Amino acid sequence: MALPTLTAGLVTQKKVAFGALVWAAASLSGGVSAVPVPFVASVVDSSVAVRVLCKAQASLCLDDVSVERLACRRGLEPARLKALRVCPLSVEVTKKEVKRRLAVAEKDRSTLSSRLVQMAVPRHALSAGRSFTTMMHALNSAIDDMAADAEKILALAFC
């Protein structure tokens, strides 16, 4: 994770490595959602997601300092490389964007399968499962978007 992102292969390896961190964050989300205290789960979800995505941004070298350093080393205009970051989380990880992604992931869950599960599973277990899958989907899609930005930056810098 600490290696600078210099090849597309390293981006892929980092993406795979973040899978374990995403799994841990989703497990924490599922565990916390089973606690019947209002608003605790959403606060923990957004805080954990922000921490994971900040680590992903830094590890993929998408922060302004890293992009400017790469541009300087390759003799490119930093604004040109920065313009390739289309994912808002590649530019800045904000709680607002993280909450938006969590809400989108919540809506993306299949309604049919969730109705079937609702009839067969106790309420607390259902809540834990929903939180787990929502967090997994939101973080994995965000990291995929950030990795795509990192690959575009590398392609331009090293072509």
Cβ proximity of 106 and 8 under 8 Å: no
Cβ proximity of 150 and 5 under 8 Å: yes
**pLDDT tens for each residue of 90-108:** 999 999 999 999 999 888 7
Cβ proximity of 70 and 82 under 8 Å: no
**pLDDT tens for each residue of 33-64:** 877 776 677 788 899 999 999 999 999 999 99
CA 91 vs. chain centroid, Å, equals: 13
pTM of structure: 0.85
Whole-number pLDDT of residue 38: 66
For residue 3, give every residue at least 6 positions away whose Cβ sits within 8 Å of its Cβ, in sequence order, or none: 10
